[in-house]
Amino acid sequence: MLALNCGKRVRSETEMGRRAVSVSSAALELARSQVGALNNLNVAVVGAGRMAQICVKLLLSEDGTGKVNLLNRSPERLAEFVKNNLPNLQRLNTGTSFDDRYEAAAKADLVIVSTSAPKTILDMEELNAARQKHGKKPTCIIDISVPRNVDPAVQEIEDVSLFNSDALANIVTRNLEEREACIAGAEAIVFEGLDAFHGWQRSQLVGPTIAELREKIESIRLDVAMRLPAGSFENSRLSLESSTSRGSFLSKTAARQRLGGMSVGKSFKLWTTRSTSSRKKSFFQFFNEHAASAQFCYRTVENFVALCT
């Protein structure tokens, strides 16, 4: 849980999570720099591979009125993709045939091409003819395929801008450099989380020992009370209760008192250098040897408790 909270803080309190370093995220960042917000635009995504699917998911993650038209040669693959838990599914259209990709590209404000085809799937002549038929609206085409699937001559068409993986590489490189500048802030958050974890871990180790010590002290205190003279039992019991109750020895003054010629701090330092079993054994031995009264017993354990917490 500490690790998850630490990761959330790094993403929310630094700029590290706001810089795209994947090809799909970089493609949409490039698109926004060219055409503005994408949620109200008509987008055509050609291909249904991993990068294309990520693009669609990112596009649908924003509320808007724009349609996302997903085209692929395999209708079965599209049907399988739609089964995923996609947000704003009403914006997604998978009914356009791959053979109608030129018409879909001509009608779109943004076209993202990501297929595994070994040759171009958008030619200059056919795309220009489709644009003549459906209108010459400004269109941004981003080809993230390797090898490239869009004819380089497409950029010669009026009101059409074409970008490929070279432009994306520049964005990814710049964003990586900006992420590296955020490392110092992220490390500070991570080290803060480590300190919190180590504190919790130490409390888990010391807690059971303290509980056992308190139980032993209480049993000794009750044993001393039962051995008081019968005639003065009530007054002696009240006096013993007021002088040996746990609340009487929680102050810092008591924690600094010296016990048996050795300060509590030094005793605790030596005690913590031993193993868990050795700690218990050595403390109980010291306790039984020097606990002359219930008052001393409670002062001893509460001093150790104050130092441990």
| ∠ CA 262-268-274, rounded to 5° | 120
- Helix or strand run (H / E) with residue 194: helix 183-226
Q: Is residue 260 scored above 50 in pLDDT?
A: no
Which residues have C-beta within 8 Å of that of residue 168, sequence separation ≥ 6? 23, 26, 27, 30, 142, 144
Asked whether the whole model's pTM tops 0.85, one would answer no
- Helix or strand run (H / E) with residue 92: strand 92-93
Q: CA torsion angle for 241, 243, 246, 251 (degrees, to 10)? A: 160
Q: Is residue 265 scored above 70 in pLDDT?
A: no
Q: Render pLDDT for 56-99 as a digit per residue (tens, 0 to 9).
A: 999 999 999 999 999 999 999 999 999 999 999 999 999 999 99
Q: How far is CA 247 from the centre of its chain?
A: 42
- Domain spans of the chain, in order of start: 17-181, 185-308
Alpha-carbon Rg for the chain, nearest whole angstrom, is: 36
Beta bridge mates, 137: none
CB 298 within 8 A of CB 242: no
**Of the listed ranges 29-38, 192-201, 226-235, the one predicted with least confidence:** 226-235
Going by C-alpha positions, the residue among 137, 128, 130 that lies closest to residue 108 is 137
What would the mean pLDDT of 26-32 be, rounded to a whole number? 94
Percent of the chain with pLDDT over 70: 71
- Look over the chain and give the mean of its residue pLDDT values, rounded to a whole number: 79
Residues 34 and 168: their CA atoms lie apart, in Å, by: 13
Higher pLDDT, 282 or 219: 219
Q: Is residue 4 scored above 90 in pLDDT?
A: no
pLDDT at res. 261: 43
Burial class (CB in 10 A: 0-12, 13-18, 19+), 309: exposed
User: The domain 17-181 is classified under which CATH number: 3.40.50.720, 3.60.21.70, 3.30.70.100, 3.10.20.90?
Assistant: 3.40.50.720
Residues 43 and 37: their CA atoms lie apart, in Å, by: 12
pLDDT at res. 20: 66
Instruction: Indicate the pLDDT class of residue 181, thresholds 50, 70 and 90.
Output: confident
Q: Does residue 250 sit in helix, strand or coil?
A: coil
Please provide the DSSP assignment of 272-307 as one string: HTS-HHHHHHHHHHHHHHH--SHHHHHHHHHHHHHH
Percent of the chain with pLDDT over 90: 44
CB 164 within 8 A of CB 150: yes
One-letter amino acid for residue 53 of the chain: Q
